[in-house]
Amino acid sequence: MPLKIDTQAPDFTLASTSGTNFTLSDTFAGKACIVYFYPKDFSSVCTAEACEFRDAHGFFKNLGVEVVGISRDDIETHLKFKEAHQLNFELLTDEGAKVASTYKSVVPLLGMIRRITYLLDENHVIKAVYESMFEAKQHIKEMIKTLEKK
């Protein structure tokens, strides 16, 4: 089960494709954001999801919503993935899945990261959650639907 709506999102710090550490409370201070967890760079569903977020980037930016993706892949792999698909948002590495565990995004026993997307408001309170391992495009559609209701 993902974290609950209307609860405070846990703060975290992870290495970023920007070359610096990303800390939720600092990097996105006062900004609404989407934090999405995904299993693996270059897999078909993860690639489709990343490209959907890339293509919807303008919509999110116009509403002041930042996007960041998190998986267990290392920074080198993330950089290749980001370049190969011209991703316009940062990817974070959570090699030990510690942050994913905090966000209830790890498959028990397997240790694999589940595909979960969180929409956080400017205070980093969770406002929407969508989980589906195989419906990559639906993650973006659900976030857009939630934001359009505002």
For the four alpha carbons of 84, 86, 89 and 90, in that order, the dihedral sign comes to positive
Domains contained in the chain, CATH given: 13-149 (3.40.30.10)
In 3D space, the residue among 120, 118, 103, 94 whose CA is nearest the CA of residue 39 turns out to be 94
pLDDT digits (tens, 9 = 90+) for 33-90: 999 999 999 999 999 999 999 999 999 999 999 999 999 999 999 999 999 999 999 9
Residues catalogued as catalytic: 46
Give the closest residue to 36 by CA, choosing from 63, 54, 61, 18.
54
- pTM here is 0.96
Name every residue whose Cβ is closer than 8 Å to that of residue 22 and which is 6 or more positions away in sequence. 13, 14, 15, 16, 68, 90, 92
